[in-house]
Structure 1
């Protein structure tokens, strides 16, 4: 955004729009490097640029201070949001999911895994409906279908994760494997919106919500498996193009040594269909290999799958 702001502020004769810009900064070192024309740094977590929930006084104050920067004619300007107002924000109560799921057990069959996810969805649905009633809106639906199709969505994810199925039921505009990204977004939105809808409960910070979803739900485990299957296809295509392990790690944004550690297993992994390999090869030709795979699991959770396995084994 900082670079875009600089472009927008350029005079019209230089290709810009000649319009003054302001922005909220969540990561101060980035703003210090990019030097946007006018920015207000706020000490809030990612995902909450205007401050904590249920604090309209703080949120409006952030907006007023940000918009007020437009009066600064000389830049770049990077101001800090005053700590005194942040300290006045009461601490949030502890958060916990309103539903207790049955203990997750390792599953090998698609039917068993799908049944586990359907159970989670059924337990969460009343809380999702409560949240929808309270908020009046939902972000579920970017796949082309709404919350009434959530069980179908998890079935598609499970069958790809377990068997590599590329089948797409009627009603979805997107094809595989791109559809997987949209389904994942809808499933995560459903779980998250349900989990935060218990009246009177504390509101979780984004990190706590991510950890709950990826480490404690069966759906989170399936999405890890979806990513692993897509990653295997990416690696096979790169191996076929004679990239060495270090190059593969770099191209796929993996930790150093990952390709060397899992490459042999990837070669012999079942369930990588010709159709998936073809789509992956096309992505390679377009310079987009790895883009889809990276969209499933947040960076902070990407290398924590082993924690989930240990938790499951100990439950």
Structure 2
């Protein structure tokens, strides 16, 4: 929750939490911690007058993510991933590296599904390898046909790469000590072949004449904070 937004909207009851954006209940997979947050939120219903904005007093414990804040922002992945393509690798090589990388992550993804009993992969309604092939082929030829004909190509493209993001995220977080979501994000966009695919896709979409592709390139493919990190690193290098 972003506090200033809550202050401006002034809801009847609100609990401000100091956790990372996107994790409103705090520590992942920690039922006791999350229940304490929920109980604090429900306790606001007992307040007779409002509006009420209360600060939650408990932060995520040091080391709860398995890594200290002094460690690097990326994460060391124990999975033996295939060799990363060169910076200027052709689309065909990126695609081959993507498929090999997905195979390496498959056991961890399967473990995640078994452990959690669910997956967020699937909105594209495509087999993951079909989704990956479509995204990889699109890098080389933007006229490549979509594997679904009931949706416009741009929509299929977005669903395909979002399914792949979910696959990678669930696979890596099945491992002990996977770190915060930012560390997972840093790993995905900077240490994987899929990350290279996404950066390339972002550039292609931003340079496209198609307004929807331009929108994806600006707002969807790579998170703003990753773009900011790259831009700041480039400024330092200068």
Q: TM-score range by the shorter chain?
A: 0.7 to 0.9
- Show structure 2 runs of 5+ residues with no match: 68-74
Task: Please tell me whether residue 292 in structure 1 is matched to residue 203 in structure 2.
Answer: no
1:1-315 aligned within 5 A: 26-83=1-58, 86=59, 91-94=64-67, 96-104=76-84, 105-145=86-126, 149-169=127-147, 171=148, 173-198=150-175, 201-233=176-208, 236=209, 277=210, 280=211, 290-293=214-217, 294-305=219-230
**Is the 1:107–1:113 contact (alpha carbons within 8 Å) kept by the matching residues of 2?**
no
How far apart are residue 144 of structure 1 and its match?
Answer: 1.0
Contact 1:159 1:165 in 2 (8 A): no
1:10-69 Cα deviation digits (max 9, x unpaired): xxxxxxxxxxxxxxxx22222222222210011111121111023222211111111121
| Distance of aligned partners of 1:56 and 1:89 in 2 relative to their CA distance in 1, 3 Å threshold | farther
Could you state the TM-score of these two structures normalised by the residue count of structure 2?
Answer: 0.84
The match for 1:262 is: none
CA drift at 1:73: 3.5
Shift of 1:153: 1.4
**3-state DSSP class of the match of 1:49?**
coil
Contact 2:172 / 2:178 at 8 angstroms: preserved in 1? no
Aligned residues: 225
Higher Rg: 1
CA contact (8 A) 1:37 1:77 kept: yes
Q: How far apart in 2 are the matches of 1:122 and 1:159?
A: 18
Structure 1 residues not aligned, in runs of 5+: 1-25, 237-276, 284-288, 310-315
Q: Deviations over 1:234-262 (max 9, x none)?
A: xx5xxxxxxxxxxxxxxxxxxxxxxxxxx
- Whether the 8 Å CA contact 1:117–1:219 is kept in 2: the answer is yes
Equivalent residue, structure 1, for 2:70: none
Under a length normalisation based on structure 1, what TM-score does the superposition of the two structures give?
A: 0.65
- Whole-angstrom distance in 2 between the partners of 1:232 and 1:225: 11
CA spacing shift, 1:137–1:87, aligned 2, 3 Å: closer
In 1, the alpha carbon distance for the partners of 2:80 and 2:191 equals: 10
Counterparts of 1:159 and 1:208 in 2: how far apart (Å)?
A: 29
Q: Per-residue CA shift, 1:206-245, capped at 9, x if unaligned?
A: 1111111011111111112212212112xx5xxxxxxxxx
Measured after TM superposition, the shift of residue 152 of structure 1 is 2.0
- RMSD across aligned C-alpha pairs, in angstroms? 2.5
Query: 8 Å contact 1:114–1:155 — kept in the other structure?
Result: yes
Q: Between the two structures, name the one with larger relative contact order (CA 8 Å, sep ≥ 6).
A: 2
